[in-house]
Amino acid sequence: MGWQYRKSIKVGPFRINLSRHGIGHSYGNRRFHISTTPDGRRHVSLRLPGGFHVGKTFGGRRYPRHY
Rounded Cα–Cα distance for residues 12 and 15 (Å):
8
For residues 15-29, average pLDDT: 91
In a domain, 1, yes or no: no
In a domain, 17, yes or no: yes
For residues 24-40, average pLDDT: 90
Please tell me the total count of domains within the chain.
1
pLDDT at residue 26, rounded to an integer: 94
pLDDT at residue 59, rounded to an integer: 86
Alpha helices in the chain (DSSP H): none
For residues 33-42, average pLDDT: 90
For residues 23-45, average pLDDT: 91
Beta carbons within 10 angstroms of residue 24's beta carbon: 20
Domain span at residue 28 reads: 6-58
pLDDT digits 0-9 by tens, 38-54: 888 999 999 999 989 99
